[in-house]
C-alpha cells in the first residue's frame, strides 16, 4: 500500500491582502502522478511554489516526507526536483555545464541522464540552440539530477507542438516507472487525462474537485448519450422512458438520442432486448473530463 508523501492543510497565500490561494488541502501518494488542473490565474503555480517553499505561504501546513519546506528548506530541496514555469537557463550555458552546475552530490549519473533524455549529442551546445522539446527534456533531466523522491513539473508542455508534447508525456511516464512521485501542473485537459492517476481542479485559488478522473466525471459530468436509429420514423420507443437513469429522449426522424446517467446505459440494452428491439448504428457517448472541467468552472472554459 502506498504511503502519503506530501500533505497540505489549509494552505493560504495572499498578495497585497488579497488571497490567491484559499485554504487548500491535498495529499499525494508515493509513486503516483497527481495532476493539478485549472485555467490561468486559478492559483496552481502559486500553490505548488508555496508547497515547494519557493514562495512564503501566509497560512497552513505543508509536509513533504515529514519536512516543512519553509522551515527545513535544505532538507526538502534535497529530496525534490523542480521544473518551474517561465524559468530558463543562461543562453550561453552549455548543456553539459548545466548538468555540472546543478549536480550536487551525484555526478555519476550525468552521462546516463544525457543518454536517457536524448541530450548526449547536445552536451557541448548552448542552451539557446535547443528546440522547445529539447529544453523541456533538459529541465526534466535537471529535475531528476539529484535523485529526487518527488518532482514538481509546472506547465511543462506549454508552447510545444503536438509531437513534442507527446514526447514529453513519454518522459513523464518514464519518471513514474522509476518510482518517483510526480506533481504535474497543467491547463491541458488531455495532458492530465493521459498521465495522471488523480487530479485536482482549481478555480480562483480553491480546490473545486479532486479524485480519480472517473470519480470527477461521475460527479460532475455523468451524463451519457446513447444514439441509435429506428427502422422507420414512426417506430415507437416511448417504452424507453421507464429505463432507470433516463433523463430525456430526443428524436429527429429515425435518429433517437437517449440522455441519462451511467446507470441508464446498463439498463437500456436489457430493456431493448425485452422489447425485441434491435437498434441500428448504436453509439454511446461518454462524458469527457473536459465537460466536467467546464461544469466545475461554471460553464466557462477560460
Partner 1 sequence: MDRISEIWKLFINELKLFVREPMVLAFVFAFPVITVLVLGGVFELAPPIVFNYIKPSEYYVAGYIAVSIASIGFVMMPVHIASYRERGILRRLKASNFSMISFYVAQFLSGFVMTILSTIALMIAAYLSYGIPAVFSYPGIIAGFIAGTATFISIGILLGNLTPTARSAQALGLLVFFPSFLLSGAGPPPNAMTKIMNNISDFIPMTHSLRAIQEPWLNLGSNKDHLIMLVGTLVITTILWLHLSSRNTSA
Residues that bind partner 1 (CB under 8 A): 15, 52, 54-56, 74, 77-78, 82, 84-90, 92-93, 97, 100-102, 104-105, 142, 146
* Cβ nearer to partner 1, comparing 128 with 248: 128
For the bound state, the minimum distance from the C-beta of residue 129 to partner 1, rounded and expressed in Å, comes to: 13
Q: CB nearer to partner 1: give 86 or 177.
A: 86
Write the burial class of residue 243 (CB in 10 Å: 0-12 exposed, 13-18 middle, 19+ buried).
buried
Pick from 285, 280, 284: nearest CA to 229: 280
Closest separation in Å from C-beta 74 to partner 1: 6
Cell numbers 533531466 label which residue?
Answer: 141
How far is it between the farthest Cα atoms of the chain? Answer: 77
Rank residues 153 and 209 by Cβ distance to partner 1 and give the closer one. 153
In angstroms, the Cα distances linking 286 to 32, 119, 128 are: 25, 41, 44
Please, which residue, 100 or 270, has the CB nearer to partner 1?
100
For 220, half-sphere exposure in the C-beta direction (CA atoms, 13 angstrom radius) is 23
Who contacts 62 (Cβ-Cβ below 8 Å, separation ≥6)?
A: 6, 7, 8, 9, 11, 50, 51, 53, 68, 69, 70
User: Closest separation between CB of residue 84 and partner 1, Å?
Assistant: 6
Smallest gap from Cβ 101 to partner 1, in A, equals: 5
How far the first Cα of the chain sits from its last, in Å, is 38
Least distance from partner 1 to the Cβ atom of residue 56, Å: 6
Q: How far apart are CA 290 and CA 18, in angstroms?
A: 29
Beta strands in the chain (DSSP E): 4-15, 18-29, 33-37, 59-64, 80-83, 150-154, 181-186, 198-203, 206-212, 224-229, 246-252, 255-260, 280-285
Give Cα 248 distance to the centre of its chain.
33
- Compare residues 101 and 214 and give the one whose CB is closer to partner 1: 101
Give the shortest CB-29-to-partner 1 separation in angstroms: 23
Task: Tell me whether residue 98 or residue 114 sits nearer to partner 1 (CB atom).
Answer: 98
Give the nearest distance from C-beta 33 to partner 1 in angstroms: 20
Q: Which is nearer to partner 1, 92 or 285 (CB)?
A: 92
Amino acid at each position: 500500500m502506498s504511503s502519503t508523501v506530501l500533505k497540505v492543510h489549509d494552505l493560504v497565500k495572499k498578495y497585497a491582502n488579497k488571497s490567491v490561494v484559499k485554504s487548500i488541502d491535498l495529499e499525494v501518494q508515493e509513486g503516483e502522478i497527481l495532476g493539478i488542473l485549472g485555467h490561468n490565474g486559478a492559483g496552481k503555480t502559486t500553490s505548488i511554489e508555496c508547497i515547494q517553499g519557493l514562495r512564503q505561504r501566509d497560512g497552513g501546513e505543508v509536509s513533504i516526507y515529514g519536512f516543512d519546506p519553509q522551515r527545513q528548506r535544505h532538507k526538502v530541496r534535497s529530496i525534490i526536483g523542480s521544473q518551474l514555469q517561465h524559468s530558463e537557463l543562461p543562453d550561453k550555458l552549455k548543456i553539459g555545464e548545466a548538468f555540472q552546475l546543478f549536480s550536487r552530490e551525484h555526478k555519476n549519473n550525468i552521462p546516463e541522464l544525457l543518454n536517457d533524455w536524448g541530450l548526449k549529442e547536445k552536451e557541448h551546445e548552448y542552451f539557446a540552440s535547443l528546440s522547445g522539446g529539447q529544453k523541456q527534456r533538459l529541465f526534466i533531466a535537471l529535475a531528476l539530477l539529484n535523485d529526487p523522491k518527488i518532482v514538481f513539473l509546472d506547465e511543462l508542455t506549454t508552447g510545444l507542438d503536438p509531437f513534442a508534447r507527446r514526447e514529453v508525456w513519454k518522459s513523464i511516464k518514464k519518471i513514474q516507472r522509476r518510482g518517483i512521485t510526480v506533481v504535474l501542473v497543467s491547463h491541458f485537459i488531455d495532458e492530465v487525462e493521459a498521465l495522471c492517476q488523480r487530479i485536482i481542479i482549481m478555480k480562483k485559488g480553491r480546490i473545486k474537485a479532486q479524485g480519480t478522473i472517473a470519480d470527477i466525471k461521475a460527479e460532475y459530468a455523468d451524463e451519457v448519450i446513447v444514439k441509435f436509429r429506428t427502422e422507420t420514423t414512426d417506430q415507437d420507443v416511448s417504452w424507453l422512458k421507464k429505463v432507470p437513469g433516463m433523463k430525456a429522449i430526443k428524436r429527429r426522424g429515425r435518429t433517437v438520442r437517449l440522455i441519462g446517467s451511467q446507470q441508464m446505459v446498463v439498463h437500456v440494452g436489457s430493456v431493448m432486448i425485452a422489447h425485441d428491439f434491435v437498434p441500428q448504428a448504436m453509439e454511446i457517448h461518454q462524458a469527457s473530463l473536459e465537460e466536467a472541467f467546464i461544469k466545475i468552472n461554471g460553464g466557462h472554459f477560460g
